[in-house]
């Protein structure tokens, strides 16, 4: 894993992005070279090849943005067929986008013949790069060799994590070391029965990293001197919450404690950070408002036509510092949706949702009026989704650290929204909170841009909507 502006990214995925950027950029030169094969020296002389770098930069930027938006750079490992299917969607969308750019800025037009060749070269090159990526990331030789201290329920979470990705995580658990007598929750064949110093065990199994997976570290629960010796011998030592934060992109509640929150890095704030965040919010909101205004006008007309009641729906939510505010949405439910006065989570195929409401919720169009909440400063463009006071009171009593999510402004979209499904139960709220805490801890403009690009796939593929 590589940490960029406090956000963890798999090194292999970053390398893939660099390689594919180079392929996209060079494919424009390849298209021109093949098109002018017989007259290549003359083409160079008359400036027909090398001055195309602005066109190559635009093509690479457009295609990368679309590929990120369709989810081709996600941390989760998906089947190869999934990748190639979305790759086809990306290139189809890229062709339409480049056609519009060529029409708007004719100076960027390469020529039909040269661009067609470049387009084919780019698609073939990226398909081959993805194939090589799948083969290399499934090779255990390139993974970090991990030794886990502990065999309890906390350590078992690592075993479940390794199995969940079918071996495509960047680590391989060599074994677990039991530190205390008791029941083991990890596979027995993975428990190392070694009677030698920890540092010797680590050297014997060529360990790159040791994960401390025990909760009680006092009274001999953790061999501090042995762990220190491993650290001094160049072996990385990491605790369980930090390991999960790095490998999964969320803060695991089961392994977290207040001291880890206090002493770990993150949760940065300050005038410069607040000013840059506010500037990002205003620019992104105004840009979205300009683009989405026709859609909003059509939606307002359809909502009014579909069912009686107001077009916009105001609902009280909890914002920064636990301060309530009224969030704006296009009305997607009947006016009597909560006639008993008791708040309820939306469910799958909720009969309270109108016909138009079902469509705009699927496409997330119902959230667009929240642009005005952002411009008023009540919300941010990216942040945890605001919850209703009723649910905040309920969830804060059942879920530890729930109120920490109110240390930043709520957002129209967020890290939890692109990473997990709609939260409509306590269990799903816990899952979303883990991602929200990761965002609160590591939020930056870079992470905001990552969320912004990947929100596109949520809209395109209807992920998490109800």
| Cβ partners under 8 Å of residue 400, min gap 6 | 253
What is the model's pLDDT at position 17?
92
pLDDT band at 266 (very low <50, low <70, confident <90, very high): confident
| Per-residue pLDDT reduced to its tens digit, 377-420 | 999 999 999 999 988 998 888 888 899 999 999 999 999 888 87
Q: For a pLDDT cut of 70, what percent of the chain falls above it?
A: 89
Identify the band that residue 125 occupies on the pLDDT scale cut at 50, 70 and 90: very high
98-114, pLDDT tens digit by residue?
A: 999 988 988 888 888 88
Is the pLDDT score of 138 beyond 80?
no
Contact status, residue 207 vs residue 146, Cβ threshold 8 Å: yes
Alpha helix stretches (DSSP H) within 403-462: 415-419, 426-442, 445-461
Distance CA 111, CA 369 (A): 42
Class of domain 143-248: alpha beta
Residue 285 has pLDDT above 50, yes or no: yes
Helix axes 53-69, 80-104, angle to 10 degrees: 140
Of residues 40 and 431, the one with the higher pLDDT is 431
| pLDDT tier, 218 (very low <50, low <70, confident <90, very high otherwise) | low
Average pLDDT across the chain, whole number:
85
Cα–Cα distance, 228 to 235 (Å, whole number):
10
What b/e string do you get for 273-294 counting C-beta neighbours within 10 Å, with b at 16 or more? eeeebeebbeebbeebeeeeee
Q: What is the mean pLDDT of residues 119-141?
A: 86
Write 285-292 long-range contacts (CB < 8 A, 24+): 285/371, 285/374, 285/375, 285/381, 286/375, 288/368, 288/371, 289/371, 292/368, 292/371
pLDDT value for 46: 45
In this model, does residue 223 exceed pLDDT 90? Answer: no
Mean pLDDT computed over 71-82 = 77
Task: Report residue 335's pLDDT band, with 50, 70 and 90 as the boundaries.
Answer: confident
What DSSP letter does each residue of 238-280 carry, written as one string? EEHHHHHHHHHSS--GGG--HHHHHHSS-----HHHHHHHHHH
pLDDT for 171-209, tens place per residue?
889 999 988 777 888 889 999 988 899 999 999 999 999
Eight-class DSSP state of 385: P
pLDDT at 308: 87
435 CB contacts (<8 Å, ≥6 apart)? 249, 250, 414, 415, 416, 419, 420
pLDDT at 45 (0 to 100) = 46
| 234 vs 3: CA distance, rounded Å | 20
Query: Of 138, 146, 143, which Cα lies nearest the Cα of 170?
Result: 143
165 CB-contact burial (10 Å; exposed 0-12 / middle 13-18 / buried 19+)? middle
Q: Is the pLDDT of residue 229 over 90?
A: yes
Q: What are the φ/ψ torsions at residue 340 (nearest 5 degrees)?
A: -80, -5
Backbone angles phi, psi at 390, to 5 degrees: -60, -45
Strand partners, 2: 9
Q: What is the rounded CA–CA span in Å between residue 123 and residue 89?
A: 11
What separation in angstroms does the CA of 329 have from each of 293, 314, 366, 458?
14, 7, 5, 18
Please, are residues 332 and 304 in contact by the beta-carbon 8 Å criterion?
no
Does the pLDDT of residue 326 top 90, yes or no?
A: yes
Average pLDDT over residues 429-448: 90
Mean pLDDT in residue range 88-96: 92
pLDDT the model gives residue 361: 86
Mean pLDDT on 29-41: 76
Bigger pLDDT: 190 vs 8: 190
Split at pLDDT 50, 70, 90, the class of 44 is low
> Looking at residue 320, what is its pLDDT?
93
In this predicted model, what pLDDT tens digit does every residue of 345-380 receive, in sequence order?
666 667 788 888 888 888 889 999 999 999 999 999
**pLDDT (0 to 100) of residue 364:** 85
pLDDT at 424: 64
Domain ranges across the chain? 2-137, 143-248, 271-461
**Which percentage of the chain shows pLDDT scores above 90?**
39
């Amino acid at each position: 894993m590589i940490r960029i502006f406090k956000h963890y990214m798999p090194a292999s995925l970053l390398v893939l992005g660099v390689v594919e950027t180079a392929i996209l950029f060079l494919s424009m030169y390849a298209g021109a070279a093949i098109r002018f094969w017989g007259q290549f020296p003359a083409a160079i002389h008359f400036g027909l090849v090398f001055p195309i770098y602005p066109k190559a930069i635009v093509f690479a930027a457009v295609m990368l943005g679309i590929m990120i938006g369709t989810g081709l750079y996600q941390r989760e490992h998906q089947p190869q067929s999934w990748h190639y299917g979305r790759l086809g969607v990306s290139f189809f969308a890229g062709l339409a986008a480049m056609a519009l750019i060529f029409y708007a800025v004719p100076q960027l037009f390469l020529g039909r013949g040269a661009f067609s060749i470049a387009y084919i070269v780019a698609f073939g090159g990226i398909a081959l790069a993805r194939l090589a990526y799948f083969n290399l990331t499934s090779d255990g030789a390139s993974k970090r060799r991990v030794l886990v201290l502990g065999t309890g329920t906390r350590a078992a979470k690592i075993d479940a994590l390794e199995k969940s990705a079918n071996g495509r995580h960047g680590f391989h658990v060599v074994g677990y070391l039991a530190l205390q007598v008791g029941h083991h929750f990890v596979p027995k064949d993975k428990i190392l029965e070694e009677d030698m110093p920890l540092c010797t065990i680590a050297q014997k199994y060529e360990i790159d990293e040791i994960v401390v997976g025990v909760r009680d570290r006092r009274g001999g629960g953790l061999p501090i001197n042995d762990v220190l010796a491993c650290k001094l011998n160049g072996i990385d030592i990491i605790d369980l919450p930090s390991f999960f934060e790095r490998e999964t992109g969320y803060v695991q509640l089961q392994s977290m404690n207040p001291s880890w929150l206090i002493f770990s890095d993150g949760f940065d704030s300050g005038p410069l950070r607040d000013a840059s965040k506010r500037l990002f919010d205003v620019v992104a909101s105004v840009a979205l408002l300009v683009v989405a205004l026709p859609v909003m006008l059509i939606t307002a007309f359809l909502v009014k036509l579909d069912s009686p009641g107001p077009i916009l729906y105001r609902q009280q939510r909890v914002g920064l510092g636990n301060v309530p505010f009224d969030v704006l949405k296009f009305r997607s439910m009947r006016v009597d949706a909560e006639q008993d006065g008791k708040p309820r989570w939306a469910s799958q195929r909720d009969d309270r949702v109108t016909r138009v409401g079902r469509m705009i919720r699927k496409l997330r169009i119902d959230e667009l009026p929240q642009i005005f909440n952002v411009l008023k400063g009540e919300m941010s463009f990216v942040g945890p989704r605001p919850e209703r006071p009723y649910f905040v009171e309920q969830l804060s009593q059942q879920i530890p650290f729930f109120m920490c999510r109110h240390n930043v402004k709520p957002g129209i979209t967020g890290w939890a929204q692109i990473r997990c499904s709609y939260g409509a139960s306590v269990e799903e709220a816990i899952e979303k909170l883990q991602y929200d805490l990761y965002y609160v801890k590591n939020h930056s403009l870079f992470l905001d841009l990552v969320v912004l690009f990947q929100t596109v796939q949520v809209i395109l593929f209807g992920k998490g909507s109800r």
